[in-house]
Chain A
């Protein structure tokens, strides 16, 4: 067991952190949100220049050949600087689906354009009735000539407003909650049978709801096996969920630093407020949660490459449950410790708090993850507990 980063991983971590520290100020974040921008083209170019958009793709497609740990390093830095750019949606989620399921020729067509930053994509999977359930797909695709015609609604398409293409899941067989029968299609956003509207989320990122009215795609638009896309989507969401945990650690770490800075400088009763034990203990409890959230993010990202699907699944569910809960706690404490300033739009702390709140909700909040965790196969109890007991005569 080894937690140390390789030289290559350290370089990756340093380069992304250095770039964002120099180019991604909180003021930039604020300005983009105020102008309803989903991203900055310059920053995206910068990330492409560092090779970060190719992290999940194989070297034969011009990618970095990275795994969970590389993605973790990038995501933690993105979290630290409250980056709203569509890295999670385009690179981790769609990139993950392409990496896991696309045919060779599709990879050749798509990867270079994602890696050089010239094309953004988004996943349109969740529907108005899905809540967090991954297998719920009511959207349908009917055979149409040698292709398909897709109809239905999708909601909360993260960073959809800036995407050129969408990956849309639709049912080719079965009922809305069946495990089998879901297919993943590439859909062009400029299709005239595709309607939609965009809106902001409370963390400043932007999303899209879409309505497909018989959108026609060719057979070549199918990613992975027809009817067998659900395991693919689950696997990609597993990666994205682990990545989100890493982002949360970056957000929490920075929020903790800002809070400590505030405790050391803000004076009341003639002393820095960090001298007061009641506030110190809140700060320590934040710290305890941040460190454990970091352990969980490392676990989830590090075990993504595990061949044991159960172990991987258990790790990601547990990490998201813990990180969601920890993020909520850390965010609430940070606001409380900032006092009145904490509830203003002006201070960065509140925006970090909002992102943590969004991260808890995305792909299943803590309560939902906990329920899933409880349903996982139980460990076999130690032998001593299962030995037959003596049957005593009744008294």
Chain B
């Protein structure tokens, strides 16, 4: 078969199936919150999680016998794009995309039986304990200690930037089990119940005034030895495995398409003198460039997904998805904020909750845009800053 850039009849049928499912099962209120940038509660995300779980679509990357879908990479991409573009919220990645695949690859039978089912059904929320106050980009310098005491570990230290720790039932933690030898070799991965005595969660409020991330403190926290993933000293290998398993979803194409549509909608509503803002050639030029940038990223994602489907190792182009995906996401929040002009200034966090009936300033859609712009500064920092990503590409892809 020669190159063919059109979706096949099967792929189109699958796309229609996804669209129909999202239209049918995504609660309208959740959809509205996502489309209009209102604050999502844990329950909003769980509703969509459960709908996918019931359909058997919640863990596309997992082996079929453990609850996966058996989709190829193109189907997975179609699902990601269609659901996000239609306003589905992003599910919590910590269980489904992170610790789940880790346990499938490295976990004990007991760990798999015990932890995988509640991840699928959303009965258990996970968070990720990687960063520490002194260990950001230099993650391997982490200091949280776990000392073996008989059949338990005793954990002391502090994690930070822990997203949704205040919602989580469990945390997977990189801890130091040895301080001799190479610093990477003394790191292990432990699964810790957030209700264990000695675990304390302290909120960190971010620029947008929101509580999303936390500090997590551990003081003499006892963890059963059976909660060690793999062997002692393998934590770094496991963390790297996770990075190499990041899929094309990291580019966030579907959500960015949704936000681009919303940007055009805002620019159509806003007036620039006598005409809609979208008719201003300068603003239009910037939207056009952003849309073209998104196309370039999307076609790169499709190349990566197609290669993955053929069972080929990801090519060098895969490494650029996080960098470009996050840059585009930030530009979208920036232009959306710019679109509403001075109406971006009022800061009324209550107004983007779900039950606010008090006075507003400016159009309803303007209220959350600045906060969102501030919030999205995180995306080029988390998951390895974009500068660290560039270091990795320079060394591993370009051989510098």
Chain B interface, >50% SS class: helix
Question: Which residues of B are found within 8 Å of A370, using beta-carbon distances?
Answer: 285, 288-289, 292
Contact with B along A356-392 (1 / 0, CB 8 A): 0000000000010011011000110110110001000
Check A299–B5 contact: CB distance below 8 A: yes
Binds B, one of A146-154, A195-203, A286-294: A286-294
Kindly identify which residue among A6, A285, A302, A389 contacts B5, using a CB–CB cutoff of 8 Å. Answer: A302
Most buried by A among B287, B316, B390, B397: B390
CB-based nearest A residue for B2 = A6
Contact with A along B362-400 (1 / 0, CB 8 A): 001000000000000000000000010011011001111
Question: Which residues of B are found within 8 Å of A288, using beta-carbon distances?
Answer: 320, 323-324, 393
Question: Which residues of A are found within 8 Å of B281, using beta-carbon distances?
Answer: 371, 374
Check A2–B306 contact: CB distance below 8 A: yes
Check B394–A283 contact: CB distance below 8 A: yes
Question: Which residues of A are found within 8 Å of B3, using beta-carbon distances?
Answer: 2-6, 9, 69, 298, 302
Kindly identify which residue among B291, B306, B324, B390 contacts A292, using a CB–CB cutoff of 8 Å. Answer: B324
Check A284–B5 contact: CB distance below 8 A: no
Question: Which residues of B are found within 8 Å of A389, using beta-carbon distances?
Answer: 364
CB-based nearest A residue for B31 = A384
- Interface residue count on the A side (C-beta < 8 Å): 49
Given known pairs A3-B307, A6-B3, A287-B316, the reply for A274 and B400 (CB within 8 Å) is: yes
Chain A interface, >50% SS class: helix
The answer, yes or no, to whether A295 is at the interface (CB within 8 Å) is yes
Question: Which residues of B are found within 8 Å of A306, using beta-carbon distances?
Answer: 6
The answer, yes or no, to whether B4 is at the interface (CB within 8 Å) is yes
Check B299–A299 contact: CB distance below 8 A: yes
Given known pairs A260-B399, A292-B296, A296-B295, the reply for A384 and B32 (CB within 8 Å) is: yes
The answer, yes or no, to whether B217 is at the interface (CB within 8 Å) is no
A282 to chain B, nearest CB (A): 10
Check B8–A322 contact: CB distance below 8 A: no
Binds A, one of B181-189, B204-212, B259-267: B259-267
Given known pairs A1-B6, A3-B3, A370-B292, the reply for A295 and B300 (CB within 8 Å) is: yes
The answer, yes or no, to whether A277 is at the interface (CB within 8 Å) is yes
The answer, yes or no, to whether A263 is at the interface (CB within 8 Å) is yes
The answer, yes or no, to whether A34 is at the interface (CB within 8 Å) is no
Residues from 167 to 224 in A contacting B, C-beta threshold 8 Å: none
Check B287–A280 contact: CB distance below 8 A: no
Check A318–B292 contact: CB distance below 8 A: yes
A259 to chain B, nearest CB (A): 10
A88 to chain B, nearest CB (A): 21
Partner-A contacts on B (CB < 8 A): 1-8, 11, 31-32, 35, 74, 85-87, 258, 261-262, 264-265, 281, 284-285, 287-289, 291-293, 295-297, 299-300, 302-303, 306-307, 310, 316-317, 320, 323-324, 359, 364, 387, 390-391, 393-394, 397-400
